[in-house]
Amino acid sequence: MKKLLLLCLILILIPSCESDADDNAPIQTNVTLNFGHTWDDIPVTNADFNTIKFTNDNGDELSIERLRYLISKVTFTTSNNEVLNIPGYQLVDVTNNENLTFTTATRIPNGTYKNVAFTFGFNNEDNYTPNGYADLNSANFFVPAMLGGGYHYMQFDGKFINSSSIEQGFNYHAIRAVDNPGDSPTFPKDTFFEVNLGTVSISNNSIINVEMNIAEWFKTPNRWDLNELNQMLMPNSAAQIKMFENGQNVFSLKSVE
Amino acid sequence: MKTWSIYCLFLITFICVSCSNESIDNYASTEVSLEIPKLFSDNIIAPVIPAGNTQTMEGIILGKKLFFDPILSGNNTQACADCHAPQNAFTDTSRFSDGIDGSLSIRNSMPLFNLAWNYDEKFFWDGKSFNLEHQAFLPVTDPKEMKNTWANVEQQLQQHNEYPELFERAFGTTSIDSTLVTKAIAQFERTLISANSKFDKFLLGEIELTPEEQNGFDVFMDEARGDCFHCHGSDKNPLWTDNDFHNNGLDETFADLGLGAITGDPADNGKFRSPSLRNLAFTAPYMHDGRFATIDDVINHYSEGLKNSTTIDPLMKKIDQGGVNLSDEDKADLKAFLLSLSDFEFVNDPNFTNN
């Protein structure tokens, strides 16, 4: 009888111990990055597209007709400088109001992180994986090999009122800056960049609201004159480098829910 | 003894009824997969096969028979294949196809191939159809096409000496309706896969391009010259279309609103679906209204014929100059490249002809 009681006691205690171990582990959670868009302080959605209603820093009146961009390599950096790398990438498609949120495929511990970051576009390693990306190919987001290959970082198309007061198209397409288009292109400067959102506290299923201020693409440090730079910018490495420079101020952390 | 006989009769009747039901409920159609070309599986995402219409051998056979059968039309004179002929990559050579009473449609007949890779499933030039089954549904009752009623089609097929059996094999029922007819046609249409052009073989490392074809491809991919790739695919997207809707500068005002008539959004006026550039050798005339008789006409349009309008796509370049003004050499080479996308095996494939 004593042996039986002892066995019962052990059976009760073992699961209890396991439970204690779980209780001590940090709670893991999925985190969502939600991409919102503004023109300076005014929210922008695809409902605002196709109408000349924005004015850039240079005074050019313009419309947005197509806007989609790539983000990748989301990271969370702990106070101990441990970097948690989140796999995956996202083609944020503002035109069709699709994929505006990116939820981490892996869960991360709750807590405060000294920095949350992502890459605008692909870094060079990710840009040239041997098999490419079937979903991005299907979305026609590739860059021709003669223009350096890989993928667009952003396709931003619209129209502006040119100096002759006529509506004219612009294609603000960000890619890896390339010179000597053709069989042997060269690359003067990397033009993907890391966006650092700063300190973020994560709790269960947090939503990190990231904001793209579209107006910034035309603003700092390069005041963009659409009469000078409007189309065929992919083979224009100087224009690509300006996009890279202006892009540094485009994204910001708006809030965490 | 009499009671025993009655029991036997009931038992036999029950067994017969059970067997009869079994042949319908447990019909065994043979599920088949699409043969996905290597270039497609290597580069783009999987085709769209709706959960409610699995590809089966019997469904495809039935769909093919229906596709080539004029029984779908109001006076039994016109089949799908009349406007979608295999030798023309499943379009026809007319600017506007004529219906059973000679009425002309307002649009050029679209070629049919690689339809399962239209990921948004918006079909026709204006995207009015939301999947391939629905696409197959519309021409039957269109007064400018087959000018029939589905009730009449269903009745004729039901009374036919072959179709009830073919529907039973494909779908497990002899009760024929428009849903099953369009499902079968869509299954056949999804098998129309074109991926054996000269350029496909070049991408697979099997053959070389001529210098002219290679330069033509460079023109196609060069944003400062052709800039065709933004809407028409590339070596990375061998569909050679984005299946999206664009105003490509054909007109200053629109007699045909295209997508705008479907969505009601003025910003969509004058937009039409990008056709694939495969098989241009067989699909003249070109554009939604068949206004261009030759590939040269099309190239000249993009080079110096663009017309400005409120909804013209911002990807159109140098509109004030009429377009990108290609040199004669680049035009000729671009044409050579485009013709390298012609798939002669596809248009001669006996699986796709009425035999």
Q: How confident is the model at residue B28 (pLDDT cuts 50, 70, 90)?
A: confident
d(CA A174, CA A119): 13
A48-52, A193-197, B12-16, B51-55: least confidently modelled range: B12-16
ipTM value:
0.90
- Strand A32-39 relative to strand A207-213, pairing: parallel
Q: Indicate whether B196 pLDDT > 80.
A: yes
| Residue-wise pLDDT tens digits, A85-143 | 999 999 999 999 999 999 999 999 999 999 999 999 999 999 999 889 999 999 999 99
Which chain B residues are closer than 8 Å to A231 by Cβ?
A: 317-318
Query: What pLDDT score does B223 carry?
Result: 93
Residue B242 near residue B233 (C-beta atoms within 8 A) = yes
Q: What is the mean pLDDT of chain A?
A: 92
What per-residue confidence (pLDDT) applies to A142?
97
Mean pLDDT within A65-77 = 98
Q: What is the mean pLDDT of residues A195-207?
A: 94
Q: What are phi and psi of B56, to 5 degrees?
A: -130, 155
Q: Report the phi/psi class of residue B190: left, alpha or beta, with left for phi > 0 and alpha for psi in -120 to 50.
A: alpha
Instruction: Compute the distance between CA of residue A136 and CA of residue A115 in angstroms, rounded to an integer.
Output: 28
As a whole-number percent, the residues of chain B with pLDDT over 70 amount to 93
Question: Which residues of A lie closer than 8 Å to B, measured between beta carbons?
Answer: 49-50, 65-66, 131-132, 134-135, 137-138, 140, 142, 144-147, 157-159, 166-171, 173, 181-182, 231-235
Amino acid of residue B70 = P
DSSP state of B117: G
Q: Rounded to an integer, what distance in angstroms lies between the CA atom of residue B292 and that of residue B95?
A: 9
Q: What local confidence, expressed as pLDDT, does residue A15 receive?
A: 46
The contacts of residue A159 (CB under 8 Å, 6+ apart) are A52, A62, A63, A65, A167, A168, A169, A170, B314
A119 min Cα distance to partner chain B (Å): 23
Tokens of A116: 């949350």
Per CB-CB distance under 8 Å, the chain A contacts of B42 are 131
- In this predicted structure, the answer to whether residue B40 has a pLDDT above a threshold of 60 is yes
pLDDT in tens, A228-254: 999 999 999 999 999 999 999 999 999
Picking from A157, A182, A235, the nearest residue to B315 by CB comes out as A157
Residue B11 has pLDDT above 50, yes or no: no
Query: Could you state, in order of their start, the residue ranges of all structural domains in chain A?
Result: 29-256
Question: What are B60's two structure tokens?
Answer: 């495809």
Distance from CA of A221 to the nearest CA of B (A): 26
Question: Furthest-apart CA pair in chain A: how many Å?
Answer: 101
Residue pair B51/B312 in contact (Cβ under 8 Å)? The answer is no
Domains of chain B: 2-193 (1.10.760.10), 198-339 (1.10.760.10)
